[in-house]
Structure 1
């Protein structure tokens, strides 16, 4: 390698440390041309693999992929396992950022093996770190910690300061997620000191963002914002959009915890705009945080829309068999869904003085009947939400009609009956993972065709709505209304049997069989209303 090429490579290293990816890539392109002229295979391969990493840092994913694929092939062809391994590591990072974590894991393992063949402890340490990151995403924090500790040993042996900073930073995150805040603080302090010592702006920015998370966990929101300011300033100056998005997500959490919900919404939406279609994992996290802000603002429908987007992204990531943690994240999301839905259902009942607890009881009755009818547990999660929201359209009905003590006029009855259509329209923007809108629209349809709003009959009525109607009628009869006392369960059953032709006969037969186990809940509701 000529002195000219060595000098240019050193200049590129300085630019990389400063996060000036585009300038670094230009310098490395000059190295590439000089290496061609000097017939230096080493210079050509070195410049190519590093250009691939710089293009990734600059957000030029396609160009990065092309360059790294070529470096991978040439490294293999020339018997350079170190080059091949560094290219594989870079391709793994691209796959991880794109949400293909299976491919990322395969590439990292290949890179680690090639690092061993090349006797390159830096490459081995970097790939161990990346495998640790995947373990953390999967929720296996013990494996992540073990990987990071192994990475640190390799990088200390290689005297790689930059690598040590990353390892310390990642070890801090593991301890943070495990709730070991003092240990996390120690690692972050050590990482920041090293980054400032060698002038590694990029890694210093990452440490600042992670310190913000630590301060949030401690409840020190002012210090969290100051740390986030430091990181965001660095990544804005470097025009590093992915890391800006990470900082914006943290800002959103800080402002939410501070009660500044408008600012929280703005920052989380900015994070989502940056990560949409480029970083599904970060977008999924930001959407979930946004849903929590929207719920605090009482914007229930928008909260459900954000939850739905988060759920769809996590479900897409679930395609990876390694992502065990995604199942837990989805389960947590479903709890968030149910929490928002329950809150929205309670807001309906706040308008109607005679239906307190109606949504929860109907959901309970309907889910018991649905389970008896053979509905599986995954479907029941969403079915329960539909049951909670079946009367959401009543928020559009004037309170004087909802609480009128006497009989409704024809005009008032028409307004009341429109709650099924109104609810359907309100939920139209929310693409639930399981279609609950038929339950909302059709739960007043009758088997004999004399229901509303569409006059459906028999099998044309959605199955979920047929189940829901039985539960809804039973609860309506056994609770007080403005115009009558609550009926006993036996009295309600007698009326329902007389109107048997309005119910799906197979489902009604199951209801009759279940009646003894439903009656105590109905009696308790009637007593508590007195």
Structure 2
């Protein structure tokens, strides 16, 4: 090795550790040129594969891909499985960055086999670690743990400090996911010490962001903010937007937990703005956190919009076979949806002194009837949400009208009946995964065409709204109103039978069969109101 090449390689290594990827790539290009002049294929290959990784770090994905593809081909042509494998590993990382986890796994396995052929423990450790990351994304935590520990063994054998830092970091995240906080803390402390020892600020920044997550989990919010500040400062200086977004998401959580909701909103929105361009998984997580902040601020509709965006992103990611835990994440999101719409329903009832518990009872009656009518699975989950939100438009009706003890005037009745249209308009910006709005708009339509707001008749009325109307009428009759006492279930049934032409005949027949199931709940509601 010539003194010129040795000096350039040393300078490139220092720039890589500092995260100065563009400058590192320029320096490695000088190594490439010096290697060509010296006819040193070893340095030509070394510079090419490292330039490929540096271009990835700088965000130049196409240039990185071209360089790594060329390095892989040239490494194969010169029987250098170590170079070929390092290039394949880089191509796997590019695929993972772009969300193609199937291709990422394939390239990591190719790189691992090449590392084994070259007897290159560092390459085998890096690929084992990357396969562990994919296992963690899939929710296969035992497999991830096995891969990480195997990787650590290879990297210790290779005396690769940078590789060990990354592996310790990933083990820490795994234990954090499992709720094993002392173990996570130990790995992070070790990773940070090594990062500082070798002056690797890129890895130090990543460790600090993960320490912030750990401190949030421990409820140590001041320490969490300090760690997040360290990581964010590093990645801001390096212009690394994806890692900045991770820090911004954590800032949002810290400020939410601190009660500083305005600051939480600002930081989460910044994270969303960045990840919308780069990282759908992180955007989905940030949108979910944003929904929680908006809910605390009382912005229920905007909270639903954020939850819906998160749900849509996770559902899109569900198409990838490598994201097997997405179903679980979607179920968690649906629980958030249901909690939010229940909360919103209760806020509606707070205005109307005579409808406490109405939304919950109507949802219960309607879901049992819907299930008997053939709805099931996720359809039933979203149907329940529509039932909770059916009176959301009443939030815009004056309380003096909602609670008026006597008969409403024609003008007051017209305003009250507008709640179905208002509710539909309120939910218009929220693109629910299941169509809830027809339940909100049409639950006062009658089978005989004499309902409101659109005068629909028969099967023109959405099926979900027909189910909901039966439940809504039964609960309205069996609970107290400002102008009358609650009717007994039998009295309510008699009135509904007299007006049976207003109901879908098939659904009303099911209701009659199920009446004995509903009556005890209605009696309990009447007694609790006394």
| TM-score normalised by structure 1 residue count | 0.97
1:414 maps to what in 2? 414
Q: Distance in 1 between matches of 2:517 and 2:486?
A: 19
1:285 maps to what in 2? 285
Asked if structure 1 preserves the Cα contact closer than 8 Å seen for 2:295 and 2:340, the reply is yes
When residues 452 and 75 of structure 1 are mapped into structure 2, their CA distance, relative to the original with a 3 A threshold, is farther
RMSD of aligned alpha carbons = 1.5
1:230 maps to what in 2? 230
1:340 maps to what in 2? 340
2:260 maps to what in 1? 260
SS in 2 for 1:355: coil
When residues 493 and 247 of structure 1 are mapped into structure 2, their CA distance, relative to the original with a 3 A threshold, is same
2:329 maps to what in 1? 329
1:245 maps to what in 2? 245
What is the CA deviation profile of residues 213-244 of structure 1, one whole-angstrom value per residue up to 9, with x for unaligned ones?
11111111111111111111111111111111
Q: Distance in 1 between matches of 2:487 and 2:66?
A: 73
When residues 26 and 407 of structure 1 are mapped into structure 2, their CA distance, relative to the original with a 3 A threshold, is same
User: Which segment drifts farther, 177-186 or 190-199?
Assistant: 177-186
User: Which segment drifts farther, 242-251 or 92-101?
Assistant: 92-101
Q: Distance in 2 between matches of 1:439 and 1:70?
A: 58
2:205 maps to what in 1? 205
Q: CA deviation at 1:468?
A: 0.9
SS in 1 for 2:350: helix
Say whether residues 1:382 and 2:379 are aligned partners.
no
Which aligned pairs between 1:325-474 and structure 2 lie closer than 5 A? 325-474=325-474
1:83 maps to what in 2? 83
Q: CA deviation at 1:119?
A: 1.4
SS in 2 for 1:19: coil
Q: Distance in 2 between matches of 1:375 and 1:489?
A: 25
Q: Distance in 2 between matches of 1:473 and 1:257?
A: 42
Q: Distance in 2 between matches of 1:421 and 1:218?
A: 46
1:62 maps to what in 2? 62
What is the CA deviation profile of residues 137-191 of structure 1, one whole-angstrom value per residue up to 9, with x for unaligned ones?
2222222221111111000000101011111111112222222222222111111
SS in 2 for 1:168: helix
Q: Distance in 2 between matches of 1:99 and 1:73?
A: 24
Asked if structure 2 preserves the Cα contact closer than 8 Å seen for 1:100 and 1:317, the reply is no
2:49 maps to what in 1? 49
Q: Distance in 1 between matches of 2:85 and 2:428?
A: 49
2:154 maps to what in 1? 154
Q: CA deviation at 1:516?
A: 1.1
Count residues in correspondence: 530
Q: CA deviation at 1:69?
A: 3.0
2:319 maps to what in 1? 319
Q: CA deviation at 1:321?
A: 2.5
Q: CA deviation at 1:29?
A: 2.4
Asked if structure 2 preserves the Cα contact closer than 8 Å seen for 1:342 and 1:388, the reply is yes
Asked if structure 2 preserves the Cα contact closer than 8 Å seen for 1:28 and 1:47, the reply is yes
Q: CA deviation at 1:319?
A: 1.4
1:184 maps to what in 2? 184
What is the CA deviation profile of residues 42-62 of structure 1, one whole-angstrom value per residue up to 9, with x for unaligned ones?
333322322221122112223
* 5+ long unaligned stretches in structure 1: none
Asked if structure 1 preserves the Cα contact closer than 8 Å seen for 2:137 and 2:322, the reply is no
Q: Distance in 1 between matches of 2:360 and 2:71?
A: 60
User: Which segment drifts farther, 186-195 or 32-41?
Assistant: 32-41
Asked if structure 2 preserves the Cα contact closer than 8 Å seen for 1:75 and 1:83, the reply is yes
1:5 maps to what in 2? 5
Asked if structure 1 preserves the Cα contact closer than 8 Å seen for 2:478 and 2:487, the reply is yes
Asked if structure 2 preserves the Cα contact closer than 8 Å seen for 1:98 and 1:280, the reply is no
Q: Distance in 1 between matches of 2:477 and 2:19?
A: 69
Q: Distance in 2 between matches of 1:280 and 1:362?
A: 37
When residues 115 and 522 of structure 1 are mapped into structure 2, their CA distance, relative to the original with a 3 A threshold, is same
User: Which segment drifts farther, 314-323 or 145-154?
Assistant: 314-323
Q: CA deviation at 1:259?
A: 0.8
Asked if structure 2 preserves the Cα contact closer than 8 Å seen for 1:420 and 1:453, the reply is yes
| TM-score normalised by structure 2 residue count | 0.97
